[in-house]
Structure 1
């Protein structure tokens, strides 16, 4: 039976390939995808923004281009008159499903690491809202909570271009099983 995208957010997604999982398994690459989703950036601009050397940035950019998460944008003339080659996000990463079982232990926390780095850079004054909670959930309850929250986020993602003139906000949605 075909899944209805208006009811089931996973109907819009497809499983990530091994190459895509590998490309998204590093916090720096996740940050590059996000930054290039805001605006077209050159390798040097990315290196400066992320505090890494240009060779490191280029390595990660090439991984993302190869996996289809970044694409070259039109070349432009920079402030110094030199030709610049910027990159932009393809938006593909949002619509992929990656099961934790598909990741090795060193890759599982890449999204959390990337988020922590971005939050540290933005500062505590940047927090617009937060919610900390603990819930007793069956597997079905957990699936329903995930489905409903992802559906709300998807609706905002799909219409984000309409709000491109407004301030950019980042976030992370993560539920973990309590160690108790």
Structure 2
């Protein structure tokens, strides 16, 4: 039988200055992704990312202070040490910042670089739609993403990630 985890509801809004700073790091975005379905300790995160635990702890604390990660009940780790597991709150889906594009892309590239080519499903699409159809496309795309985001998470299912970027096509000549 599969288990599910539901995200806590948050209202979609512009990130505060502290939240913008928290989301302005590709490393912190990767930590959020790692702690989405499994609570991980600082040491476990550091091992996966091949980083110094002190560096990771700084980033974890920033995410906890801004509400993107939550500390769970301490547990005994290796050799009986007290360790605190952290879990993503889901808040990052509901806060946005104009400054998050570069770190988001950097996190995506770091994650996808570890995969074999056969596991990278990528495509590009050029669109030429009138403004009202472009707005409809954006709205329907977001509604589809929101629908799947809102479904209960099956923590036993294989995890997948989606990166989506929509931007004016700079490779095409602009008409006057």
Asked whether 1:166 is paired with 2:157, we answer: yes
1:116-127 equivalence runs, <5 A: 116-127=109-120
Question: Partner of 2:86: helix, strand, or coil?
Answer: strand
Residue 96 of structure 1: how far off its partner (Å): 1.7
Q: Which runs of 4+ in 1 moved over 6 A?
A: none
Q: State the structure with bigger RCO (CA 8 A, min sep 6), 1 or 2.
A: 2
Residue 146 of structure 1: how far off its partner (Å): 1.9
> What is residue 50 of structure 1 aligned with on the other side?
49
Question: d(CA) in 2 for partners of 1:143 and 1:15?
Answer: 20
Residue 145 of structure 1: how far off its partner (Å): 1.7
Change (3 A) 1:92 1:135: same
Residue 77 of structure 1: how far off its partner (Å): 1.3
Question: Partner of 1:87: helix, strand, or coil?
Answer: strand
Deviations 1:21-79 (A, max 9, x none): 11101100000011111211111111111111111111111111111100101111124
Which structure 1 residue ranges, 5 or more long, are not aligned? Answer: 1-10
Choose from 141, 152, 155 the match for 1:149. Answer: 141
**Two-structure CA RMSD over aligned residues (Å):** 1.8
> What is residue 71 of structure 2 aligned with on the other side?
72
> What is residue 110 of structure 1 aligned with on the other side?
103
Question: d(CA) in 1 for partners of 2:107 and 2:94?
Answer: 18
Which structure 2 residue ranges, 5 or more long, are not aligned? Answer: 1-9
Question: d(CA) in 1 for partners of 2:45 and 2:116?
Answer: 20
Question: Partner of 1:49: helix, strand, or coil?
Answer: helix
Change (3 A) 1:18 1:143: farther
1:85-104 equivalence runs, <5 A: 85-98=84-97, 100=98, 103=99
Residue 141 of structure 1: how far off its partner (Å): 3.2
Q: State TM-score, norm by structure 1.
A: 0.82
Residue 12 of structure 1: how far off its partner (Å): 5.0
> What is residue 168 of structure 2 aligned with on the other side?
177
Greater displacement, 110-119 / 136-145: 136-145
CA contact (8 A) 1:28 1:114 kept: yes
Question: Partner of 1:37: helix, strand, or coil?
Answer: coil
Residue 138 of structure 1: how far off its partner (Å): 4.0
Aligned residues, how many?
162
> What is residue 8 of structure 1 aligned with on the other side?
none
Q: State TM-score, norm by structure 2.
A: 0.84
